[in-house]
């Protein structure tokens, strides 16, 4: 399977996990304290370099801040990587 499809599938699963913590009343926001660093590290590992660092910081903050769990940070990073950045650089990935 193509690397970009694997990143998309894994990213969607991670976004669902992040959203699921929001769906559990009372427990959800405290679960974010566990999920936020895991999410940040996963973003850093999945997307190397400066993009991974910025994405990891954004993803970690998005998970730890209240009422922001609905933002699909992994999916947005995938779209940025394979559509926006690709058009900007003119590179076919």
Tokens of 3: 């690397």
Task: Give this prediction's pTM.
Answer: 0.84
> Would the pLDDT of 81 be above 80?
yes
In the prediction, which pLDDT does 64 show? 86
Q: Which residues contact 33 (CB under 8 A, 6 or more apart)?
A: 64
> Would the pLDDT of 14 be above 80?
yes
Please write the tens of the pLDDT for every residue from 34-65: 889 999 999 999 998 999 999 999 999 988 88
Spans of all domains in the chain:
3-86
Identify whether the C-beta of residue 68 lies closer than 8 Å to the C-beta of residue 59: no
- The whole-angstrom separation of Cα 26 and Cα 78 is 30
Tokens of 93: 């990935």
């Amino acid at each position: 399977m193509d690397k970009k499809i694997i990143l998309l599938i894994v990213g969607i699963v991670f976004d669902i996990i992040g959203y699921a913590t929001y769906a559990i009343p009372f427990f959800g926001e405290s679960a974010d304290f566990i999920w936020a660093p895991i999410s940040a590290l996963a973003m850093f590992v999945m997307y190397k370099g400066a993009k991974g660092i910025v994405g990891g910081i954004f993803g970690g903050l998005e998970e730890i801040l209240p009422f922001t769990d609905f933002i699909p940070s992994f999916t947005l990073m995938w779209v940025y990587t394979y559509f926006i950045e690709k058009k900007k650089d003119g590179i076919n990935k």
